[in-house]
Amino acid sequence: MEAPLHKQPLRLLAGLVALGLVTAACGNDDKTSTDETTTSAEDTTTTAGGGGDTSDSQVSLDDLCQEAKDAGVEAPDGFTVRLVTDIGKVDDRTFNQYAYEGMTAAEECFGFEASFIETVSEADYAENISTALEGDPDIVVTVGFLLADATLTAAEANTETDFVGVDQFQPEYPANYAGVQYNEDEGGYLAGVLAASLSESGVIGVVGGREDVPPVVKLVNGYEVGAQSVNPDIQVLKIYNESFTAPDKGASDAQQFIGEGADVIFGAGGQTGSGGVAAATAQGVWGIGVDQDEYFSTFDGGSAPGADKLASSAVKRVDLGVFVQIVNALKGEFEGGFFALTAANGGITYAPFHDADIPKDVAALLEETRLGLADGSIKTGLDPATGLPL
């Protein structure tokens, strides 16, 4: 079968590694194939407090848009994309927003019609997807692990529509359903290395979301093993929460951890985790964000209190995953299956330090770790599907 965009990336993606998606399974084909690409990252220089771009792996969607246009990619008349969020809104400053930004970047690039539905409760998943299907859109994007069952049911019943499921895995996929997943264990590992390197107390914390959501478990456990790679005796305080949208609870969790001696807090639970990060930095404790670069979301581009204590964020390119799948569909090369974004292909990385005063040796270790995860010389020791020890 002819390789789609994730196997034959546009020239820019090929040149910068990485941003072609790795195919772990294709449709209902039992065969597993990989198309790993390696890169030699450019040397980067980071000065303490300089807040420079510490990782060159993040390619802008504007650049990908231009290259797709140069390659003749266009949206046909009437092309429509609809997005259904997990519980939360498209401006919630978490992965819902990041997925929405991937869709709107493609909308602005190619000029098709796009809309969204915001989910209030889990009971609304199937109904919201059904509403999104009205008018027979070309693509429906559903955001979050918890929408996987409803998305699979809809994909099987609506074979003329392509479905993009963010953070969704299925044992078998219909030909019109792409599950975009991420090696969050690698992102958590990067956060853990940074936290342990910055900690003076030997105690760090992580405010997690729901324990029944594998990406959260991957982040939490990755954080712990990453920290232990720097300091085997480090104490990692961790908690899971029942909601991703409870920043006050996250703040309370962080306060408790700080009372127990934690001097770095990682937020791994949407708005709940962000509440923990904001509370920590407000007290002068280091914080590490997740998913997006929280300097621009939680800390309003540096204008919010505590921005100088946001060390970085463990970034997973949800926007990239959505954008590339839409381009696949526009090229007529959309395929069902499981697609992984990893440190190796630029889908997992870390955000710039911005206003934070990060020592040069810590910055160097973090970048060395990213490169090691990318080339396979560093392993998290966790199952990339579940986050549990191998």
| Among 15-19, 247-251, 357-361, the least confident range | 15-19
Sign of the alpha-carbon dihedral angle for 276, 277, 280, 281:
negative
Predicted pLDDT of residue 349: 95
Q: What average pLDDT score do residues 203-232 get?
A: 97
Question: Residue 26: pLDDT above 90?
Answer: no
Beta strand 337-341 pairing with 177-182: parallel
The helix (run of H) or strand (run of E) holding residue 287 is strand 286-291
| Banded pLDDT at 50 (limits 50, 70, 90) | very low
Question: Residue 86: pLDDT above 90?
Answer: yes
| Banded pLDDT at 315 (limits 50, 70, 90) | very high
Contact 328, 64 (CB under 8 A): no
- State how far Cα 184 lies from the chain centre: 7
Predicted pLDDT of residue 94: 81
Predicted pLDDT of residue 93: 79
Work out the angle at residue 296's Cα, subtended by the Cα atoms of residues 239 and 93, and round it to the nearest 5 degrees: 50
Sign of the alpha-carbon dihedral angle for 214, 103, 374, 171:
positive
| Nearest residue to 279 (alpha-carbon basis) of 245, 311, 305 | 305
Predicted pLDDT of residue 52: 41
Predicted pLDDT of residue 80: 98
Q: What average pLDDT score do residues 241-270 get?
A: 97
Give the SS3 label for residue 82.
strand
Q: What average pLDDT score do residues 301-318 get?
A: 96
Instruction: Supply the mean pLDDT for the chain.
Output: 87
Question: Residue 42: pLDDT above 80?
Answer: no
* Domains observed in the chain: 11-40+73-182+318-341 (3.40.50.2300), 184-316+351-375 (3.40.50.2300)
Question: Residue 53: pLDDT above 60?
Answer: no
Q: What average pLDDT score do residues 116-133 get?
A: 97
Predicted pLDDT of residue 346: 87
Q: What is the pTM of this model?
A: 0.83
Query: Alpha-carbon distance 286 to 299, whole Å?
Result: 13
Predicted pLDDT of residue 35: 33
Contact 273, 250 (CB under 8 A): yes
| Among 94-98, 115-119, 278-282, 350-354, the least confident range | 94-98
Question: Residue 209: pLDDT above 80?
Answer: yes
